[in-house]
Amino acid sequence: MNWRVERHLGSAATFHGLDLRDPVRRLVWWFEVLRPAIALGSTQRLEVVDPERAEAAGVEIVRRRSGGGAVWLAPGQVTWVDVVLPAGDPRWVDDVGQAAAWLGRAWAAVLEDLGCAGVQVHLGPLVRSPHSGLVCFAGLAPGEVLVDGRKVVGISQRRTRAGARFQCALLHEWDPRPMVDVLALTEPEREALVGDLSAVAAGIGPVRSAEVVGALVAQLRTES
């Protein structure tokens, strides 16, 4: 089976609302948002975001169907790709804790091809931090990718009997302040959170998303 690629440009809420098609087939969804958005995990309370601050900053508030903390999506700062895998595919793994390992290895190969050094796929258990319940990139899940010890690719997943949707975010820039500024926190809490988040993640620099997606698809097809 080959990989179908679809590119979408628009609102984060529209993209997160897409359903898996029947029958589920191998698919790469590449999403480009028109304005900044904060995507909350499926179990996060809406109250973690200050709606007035978000509206003033022009930030869209959306909820994704996969778990984890909030993810910042902004034009030019993140490559957002969903990789859809049908159940029964040779890459399919029943163990949820190891289900994204193959995809993490594919991302690692892409980053190395793009010139990143010190690339590592996290294959251990979930690593939590004081802020990982609030912000996705403050924690580390199996299959996610680091460069020089800092997280650069976040992966969450939504599974059904028919297939899995792996939601991937690759950081090009990592400035946590715009996201932290719309959270429902006090100013001292915001300052402390910005400092902590600055140390746990990083961006890979100004590589075009088209180049990243092309390299990922090529890697997936090579391994088919």
Q: What CATH number does residue 148 fall under?
A: 3.30.930.10
- In this prediction, residues 83-100 reach a mean pLDDT of 95
pLDDT at res. 142: 97
pLDDT at res. 224: 62
Say if residue 1's pLDDT is above 80.
Answer: no
- In this prediction, residues 81-102 reach a mean pLDDT of 96
CB 223 within 8 A of CB 106: yes
pLDDT at res. 82: 97
DSSP of 182-221, one letter per residue? TBS--HHHHHHHHHHHHTTB----S--HHHHHHHHHHHHH
pLDDT at res. 67: 82
Say if residue 65's pLDDT is above 90.
Answer: no
pLDDT one-digit tens code per residue, 108-150: 999 999 999 999 999 999 999 999 999 999 999 999 999 999 9
Say if residue 218's pLDDT is above 70.
Answer: yes
Q: Residue 65: helix, strand or coil by DSSP?
A: coil
Q: In sequence order, which ranges of 64-145 are alpha helices (DSSP H)?
A: 101-113
pLDDT one-digit tens code per residue, 21-32: 999 999 999 999
pLDDT one-digit tens code per residue, 156-183: 999 999 999 999 999 999 999 999 999 9
> Which residue segment(s) compose the domain that 134 sits in?
4-222
pLDDT at res. 66: 85
Say if residue 154's pLDDT is above 70.
Answer: yes
**Does a cis peptide bond (omega within 30 degrees of 0) precede residue 23?**
yes
pLDDT band (50, 70, 90) for residue 213: very high
Work out how many domains the chain is built from and give that number: 1
